Amino acid sequence: MTELYKLSISEAGALLRQRKISAVELTQAHLDRIREVEPKVKAFTLVTDELALQQAREADKRFASGENLHPLTGIPLAIKDVICTKDITTTAGSRMLENFKPPFDATVMERLNATGFVMVGKTNMDEFAMGSSTEHSAFFPTHNPWDLERAPGGSSGGSAAAVAAGMAMGSYGSDTGGSIRQPGSLCNLVGLKPTYGRVSRFGLIAFASSLDQIGPFARNARDAAILLQAIAGHDRRDGTSSPEPVQDYEAALSGSIKGLRIGVPEEYWVEGTQPGVVSAVKENIERLRELGAEISPVSLPHTKYGVAAYYIIAPAEASSNLSRYDGVKYGYSYRDTSDMWEAMEKTREYGFGPEVKRRIMLGTYALSAGYYDAYYKRAEKIRTLIKQDFDKAFEKFDALVSPASPTVAFKIGEISDPYQMYLQDVFTIPANLAGICGVSIPGGFNDNLPVGLQLLGNVFKEDTILRIADAFEQVTDYHSRWPNL
């Protein structure tokens, strides 16, 4: 047998059910892999090895009794450190929450725990999910398993690197403007952002509440379908969660995309995209055509305002969400003064990193009485126009296809200008503004670095984009390649 850590979730699940391997063996293989490569990759803020082995033993009991089995029972997964785990440190990549142990589980964690999965650890991220490289983590940067000098993307870079390096069979991240799809793209993974409202945000530490969604990273479309299935569905504790019935995502993987209408947004061929990315994506589009999809161009005319609108709306919401970190309720607290205002000021001065402060200032400014109409209100209007572009496109198309990121993985330290970093999300941001779903899938290599292909689907059409991803995997082998670590 190949190394256990190289199995897919569905393969491992079959072996577990046939009792050819045990959950403890499978978990141990991943903990061994963590010991071997984590010192180089630094994907985790916390490795929960004892808990993992305990959960694996419980999973093995379930297999022995044959009861309550779920496709994720006994499967080792990693969780982005922005998802609250009861009594287990949840830092959001920030000094502010360095020692925070949530008194409750996020809904996503409750659902995962019910499956009997195995948690191997919490993963590193840009502070409060603000960034595209994981360099804004308050603790340390994460390294891309495909080239350790490079960033894995972000903000969910730890979750992506953990799966790409074989330290977890799958993982969860959060995507506010691209934080699952862009690291998915840079690490050769399937990274899916569900439709807004598909997955509960209860217990997800908030960045920008009207944009945030939790979603999976996997090494193939089937695994992504299994991982999404486990967390999707209505939750009465999240007022924005949708009562729309959840599809059977694995059943949707028919292998055929014959007759599917796929649009290629003209506005997504922008200057600054690396030529190697453009050529890989064009080649991929031809593959989709050969598979029987009907490909034609489509126009999304307001695309060019997406990044600008996002960098008003997301910071505005963040400035409000982050006001709760005042040193009083929980988290870091500056105590060297008896003056309340000074305590709050210093708590925020020392607790937040530079990118978070930049966003709070931007957002506060955009929401201030004198500028609200000029910035925030205008950005919201643009958001509506972007949503209408997609509504119109989806009248004619089942899905849209584009690059996921304008570049392959860049060197750690290479992008120092915040604006250049913001442009990493030029292709992913519009989907968050419109609330639609999107996935980045392995789409080839440029100079031995992965290129991601983005598939966008209408609201609640995760089944369609996963079906395309799965069909694409049948005729390509990009997704099955491993980095040399």
Sites of contact with ligand GLN (CB under 6 A): 129-132, 155, 175-179, 207, 314, 425
Kindly state the DSSP code that residue 255 receives in the 8-state scheme.
S
Give the nearer residue to ligand GLN in terms of CB position, either 117 or 305.
Answer: 305
- Coil, helix or strand at residue 103: coil
Give the nearer residue to ligand GLN in terms of CB position, either 208 or 225.
Answer: 208
Q: Which is nearest to 202 in space by CA: 122, 86, 91?
A: 86
Phi, psi of 24 (to 5 degrees): -65, -45
Give the nearer residue to ligand GLN in terms of CB position, either 107 or 179.
Answer: 179
Residues in the chain: 485
Minimum Å distance from CB 262 to ligand GLN? 25
* 80 annotated active-site: yes
Minimum Å distance from CB 155 to ligand GLN? 4
Q: Out of 42, 80, 122, 193, which one is annotated catalytic?
A: 80
Q: Is the separation of the CB atoms in 124 and 157 below 8 Å?
A: yes
Give the nearer residue to ligand GLN in terms of CB position, either 144 or 347.
Answer: 144
Residue whose entry in the numeric block shows the structure tokens 């141990």:
28
Minimum Å distance from CB 304 to ligand GLN? 17
Give the nearer residue to ligand GLN in terms of CB position, either 314 or 449.
Answer: 314
Name the CA radius of gyration of the chain, rounded.
21
Q: Out of 22, 132, 174, 179, which one is annotated catalytic?
A: 179
Structure tokens at 456: 């966008």
Distance CA 422, CA 415 (A): 10
Minimum Å distance from CB 352 to ligand GLN? 15
Strands (E), 105-250: 118-123, 170-175, 190-193, 213-218
Give the nearer residue to ligand GLN in terms of CB position, either 48 or 144.
Answer: 144
- 215: CB partners within 8 A, 6+ apart: 172, 173, 174, 175, 180, 191, 192, 193, 194, 199, 228
Burial class (CB in 10 A: 0-12, 13-18, 19+), 53: middle
Q: 155: cis peptide before it, omega within 30°? A: yes
Sheet with strand 76-80: strands edge to edge: 44-47, 118-123, 76-80, 170-175, 213-218, 190-193, 437-446, 449-457, 399-403, 261-265, 294-298
Give the nearer residue to ligand GLN in terms of CB position, either 10 or 240.
Answer: 240
Minimum Å distance from CB 334 to ligand GLN? 26
Distance CA 256, CA 445 (A): 25
Minimum Å distance from CB 407 to ligand GLN? 13
For 69, other C-beta atoms within 10 Å of its C-beta total 17
* 10 annotated active-site: no
Q: State how far the alpha carbon of 287 is from the alpha carbons of 281, 282, 297, 469, 474, in Å.
A: 10, 9, 16, 12, 11
Minimum Å distance from CB 375 to ligand GLN? 16
Q: State how far the alpha carbon of 221 is from the alpha carbons of 257, 442, 466, in Å.
A: 14, 10, 6
Q: Is the separation of the CB atoms in 437 and 456 below 8 Å?
A: yes
> Which residue sits closest to ligand GLN, CB atoms considered?
179
Q: Out of 155, 241, 405, 440, which one is annotated catalytic?
A: 155
Give the nearer residue to ligand GLN in terms of CB position, either 130 or 167.
Answer: 130
Q: Which is nearest to 311 in space by CA: 358, 267, 354, 265?
A: 358
* 411 annotated active-site: no
Minimum Å distance from CB 132 to ligand GLN? 4
Catalytic residues: 80, 155, 179
